[in-house]
Structure 1
Amino acid sequence: MIVDLPETTTAKVQKALVKIREEGGAVALGRVLTLIIATQDGFEEDAIEAANDASREHPMRVIVISLDADAPEARLDAQIRVGGDAGASEVIVLHAKGGTATDPQGLVMGLLLPDAPVAVWWPGAAPEVPGRSPLGRIAQRRITDASTQPDPQVAVHALEGRYTPGDTDFAWTRLTLWRAQLAAVLDQPPYEPVTRVEVVGAIDSPSTTLLAAWLGMRLGAEVELVLTPVEEGSHGIRGVVLHRSTGPIELLRDVPSVARLRQPGQPEHDVALPRRNLRDCLADELRRLDPDELYGEVLVDGLPLCHPEGTAA
């Protein structure tokens, strides 16, 4: 069910939600959090689709807010989606224009689920310091995506200076499978120290830079970060080589979903390493709403050592 509310107020939106709940049987029971999606007008649907898919794992209320403070007329248009149009969530879409768009926190406060945590996701442009923004101040979790910025490498290095506990970025979330696979490899004999690390990826992949920072911080080894020009079909992380005295361990992804694992004295293996979509990344981040301390450590202690020009020591 979709209900349009043109030229409305947040109080009227809340009343409409109650009415829909009473007449249609849609309930808020079992909702575990409120997810606020701050996006640009016209770019809401991909984010809503990802949130609807993630809501099957995390039932929630989704508030999508787009702001146009430069519009000459001050008005608020809203839309409520429930049932089959909202997955396992309630979706409230707010289009604020003119003077109405100057107070995003005030627009959403009356629509938050009571006694439930709040997460904010900026699928595109994010505030310079998310933790100090109007929406960021009311959230336990703040999610950005450096890969959507005009220069992803500049964006990922800017994360260090603006980090506040509770922040995270999908560039980090996309590393989960890579980190798990590399940790599993190093958890096998002969348990030798890694003396040097090579990380290769496309120039538009901020995840490649964070992976190099994490490996350098955790292994205490020299890291060579190589960022290559983007070619068709070659986005993202391309491979990692861990050098040890008995020979290198190579995890190389030549195709989008499968990587080849080569280790001294062992046969070559194919490992599933698909690129994670928005739904997977969002669901992963909503599994825990406390600060990701490891992510903060990588930004503070590991990222300053990694430079997009090529190498890191």
Structure 2
Amino acid sequence: MKIDLTDTTSSKINKALVQGRRAIGTPAVGMVLTLVIVTDEENAYDALRAANEASREHPSRTLVVIKRVSRSPRDRSKARLDAEVRVGADAGTGETVVLRLYGEVINHAQSVVLPLLLPDAPVVVWWAVNAPLDPAKDPLGALAQRRVTDTYAAEHPIDELSARADAYTPGDTDLSWTRITPWRSMLAAALDQVECEVTSVEVEGEEFNPSVELLGMWLADRLHVPVKRSMSSGPGLTGVQMETNCGPIRLHRPDGSLASLSIQGQPDRAVALKRRETAELIAEELRRLDPDDTYASALKFGVERLGERATAAPAANEKAPDEAGAADEPTAKSSAAAAKKSAPAKKAASK
């Protein structure tokens, strides 16, 4: 069921939600959280579809905030709120309100959203595109226990990743981090099978892919060994090789679907490591609403290294081709990892 409201208010939207629930015969509210999606008109459909699929696992009230900036000065000055209320089959297993903000209302989105939040329920804000540099200080982000961004959608993903590290606040997370969960699980499980010490790691993937960067940060942070970054044509992450005193351990995924795990002294194994859709990533993030300390540790570990890379980039362009390639590696050995090189490597890299 859909109810369209033009030039409306938050109180009228709440009344429409009650009216819609009664009309379909489900007056009781059985939702567990409020998911606020901040997006633009172009990406709203995909974001809402992902949220609806995730609602099968996490019934929620989904509020989609679309800030409409008019090109006409006359229309730009007129404040207006339009809403589309969806309940029943049109809203997955929860409720959906699509909010389109015009004029001065754009600068006060939190005032529109606040009366629509479910009482006594957690709030998660997800910026599908155009996330603020400091999500926790954003007016909408201040309403939430968890703030989800996606550096992969940014114009300059590596710079965005560095900004996320500088502004990190407990409760922040990123879908680029969520994408590497299967990789982290697989690598940790592989290390649990051997009695070896890791001496170095090489991470291979697309250039300027934040998930590749984060995996390298996590490995360097957990294992205290140098991590080298290698480029590939993708898709996404394509391989990790860990050198140990018992022989190499390699996880290779050339096609974005099926990976091969090789451990010295054991037969090679094919493992499913498919690239996941946005709905699966959002569903995973909604399973936990506490701060992700592992993400924070890996992110902060890479701040200094990312800063050094940005400083060294102009000088690297003046070097010979082979030297420039080494200087431009996003996850080359960090100074922190080098200082700890003599320390014994940890056996497991689990969270």
Q: Do the two structures share a fold, i.e. TM-score over 0.5?
A: yes
Amino acid corresponding to residue 217 of structure 2 in structure 1: A
Pairs within 5 Å for 1:61-210 = 61-68=61-68, 71-189=76-194, 191-210=195-214
Pairs within 5 Å for 1:209-224 = 209-224=213-228
**Unpaired runs of 5+ in structure 2?**
71-75, 311-327, 335-351
Distance apart, 1:246 and its partner CA: 2.0
More deviation in 8-17 or 31-40? Answer: 8-17
More deviation in 93-102 or 294-303? Answer: 294-303
Equivalent position of 1:227 in the other structure: 231
Contact 1:205/1:235, CA 8 A, preserved across alignment: no
Deviations 1:22-52 (A, max 9, x none): 2322345221000000111232111111111
How far apart, in 2, do the equivalents of 1:147 and 1:302 lie?
Answer: 17
Amino acid corresponding to residue 90 of structure 1 in structure 2: E
The alignment partner of 2:248 has SS state of strand
How far apart, in 2, do the equivalents of 1:157 and 1:97 lie?
Answer: 32
Contact 1:160/1:303, CA 8 A, preserved across alignment: yes
The alignment partner of 1:291 has SS state of coil
**Unpaired runs of 5+ in structure 1?**
none
Deviations 1:151-185 (A, max 9, x none): 21222222111111100000000011000000000
Contact 2:170/2:292, CA 8 A, preserved across alignment: yes
Task: Kindly report the root-mean-square deviation, in angstroms, between the aligned alpha carbons of the 2 structures.
Answer: 1.4
Distance apart, 1:303 and its partner CA: 4.7
How far apart, in 2, do the equivalents of 1:100 and 1:13 lie?
Answer: 16
Contact 1:26/1:82, CA 8 A, preserved across alignment: no
Amino acid corresponding to residue 35 of structure 2 in structure 1: L
The alignment partner of 2:276 has SS state of coil
How far apart, in 1, do the equivalents of 2:27 and 2:229 lie?
Answer: 50
Contact 1:69/1:102, CA 8 A, preserved across alignment: no
Contact 1:213/1:303, CA 8 A, preserved across alignment: no
The alignment partner of 1:143 has SS state of strand
Aligned residues: 308
Amino acid corresponding to residue 123 of structure 2 in structure 1: V
Which is helix-richer, 1 or 2? 2
How far apart, in 2, do the equivalents of 1:247 and 1:305 lie?
Answer: 28
More deviation in 3-12 or 58-67? Answer: 3-12
Deviations 1:88-123 (A, max 9, x none): 010000000001111011000110000001000001
The alignment partner of 1:195 has SS state of strand
Amino acid corresponding to residue 221 of structure 1 in structure 2: V
Equivalent position of 1:242 in the other structure: 242
The alignment partner of 2:46 has SS state of helix
Equivalent position of 1:37 in the other structure: 37
**What TM-score results when the alignment is normalised by the length of structure 1?**
0.95
Contact 2:38/2:128, CA 8 A, preserved across alignment: yes
**What TM-score results when the alignment is normalised by the length of structure 2?**
0.85
How far apart, in 1, do the equivalents of 2:90 and 2:271 lie?
Answer: 36
How far apart, in 2, do the equivalents of 1:47 and 1:312 lie?
Answer: 37
Taking only the aligned residue pairs, the percentage that are identical comes to 45
Amino acid corresponding to residue 166 of structure 1 in structure 2: G
